[in-house]
Amino acid sequence: MHIQSSASSWQPRTPPSQEQLKTQASDLFSKLDSSAKGYLDASDFSKALQSVQQDTSDSQSSEWFSQLDADADGKLTSDEFSTGVSEQLYNARGMMGAGGPGGMNGMPPPPPPEEDSGKTVDELTEMLDKVKDSDTNLATDLQSIIDQFDQADADQDGKVTRDEAMAFKESQKTSSSDASGSSATTNSLSASQMQLQHTLMQLMKSYGATAAATAATSSSSLSMTA
């Protein structure tokens, strides 16, 4: 695929509505509730998360389960799941847009190809070689992803997708905020929420949801000017 040196060639995707996200989250719940119990318990939820993020700890899974379990009865119903997940993903758009277009430094993360199949580290290196002299900001972002490729490649499939690049960029912004002396409690909450949103996006993507795949991508509009 031809890669132009100007990042402004990337066009934004139409953001999904919260109702679209809720419908797809409901479909996801049906797939996760394989025994048709009508609910997910903490163990079911943890197993689902670890299917896309193997390093998810039990304590973190429990914390996220509690956030979605609105009535705190230890059972995550279809309505609780679809409402909670859709809210998390819909809110991710606002969080990723914080600080102006593209967040930190006004620059969104470098996107993979339009079909969002992802890029390998070699493909990202090739992209870097093409833009390093014409777009230093994009080159810096690309180099950051290349240097920390394993961290950016959330599902460990050997490629970094647009959504993974977005989440990685946001994690870097959070780290930068920590270094600047922001409240540790606020940063911890923000980082946890971002990780939850990213994990939920990966879960939706893993089970074939399409609206979630554009939820975070659309937040920064992905129109970058050199």
Tens digit of each residue's pLDDT (9 = 90 or more) over 32-81: 998 899 999 999 999 998 888 888 888 889 998 998 999 999 999 999 99
The per-residue pLDDT for 156 is: 85
Contact 168, 148 (CB under 8 A): yes
The per-residue pLDDT for 177 is: 53
Residue 211 pLDDT exceeds 90: no
What is the reported pTM?
0.52
Backbone angles phi, psi at 68, to 5 degrees: -85, -25
Contact 135, 9 (CB under 8 A): no
Residue 7 pLDDT exceeds 90: no
Confidence of residue 112 (pLDDT cuts 50, 70, 90): very low
Two tokens at 49?
């998360």
Residue 209 pLDDT exceeds 80: no
Report how far apart, in Å, the C-alpha atoms of 100 and of each of 30, 54, 95, 104, 223 are: 37, 33, 10, 8, 13
Residue 137 pLDDT exceeds 50: yes
Backbone angles phi, psi at 120, to 5 degrees: -80, 170
* Domain ranges, ordered by start, for the chain: 15-220
Residue 176 pLDDT exceeds 70: no
**Residue listed under structure tokens 């079911």:** 44
How far, in Å, CA of 31 to CA of 155, rounded? 19
The per-residue pLDDT for 220 is: 39
How far, in Å, CA of 17 to CA of 211, rounded? 8
Backbone angles phi, psi at 162, to 5 degrees: -60, -45
The per-residue pLDDT for 38 is: 94
**Residue listed under structure tokens 């620059």:** 107
Q: Which residue has the higher pLDDT, 30 or 214?
A: 30
Q: Which residue has the higher pLDDT, 39 or 156?
A: 39
Contact 96, 216 (CB under 8 A): yes
**Residue listed under structure tokens 């059972």:** 75
Confidence of residue 105 (pLDDT cuts 50, 70, 90): very low
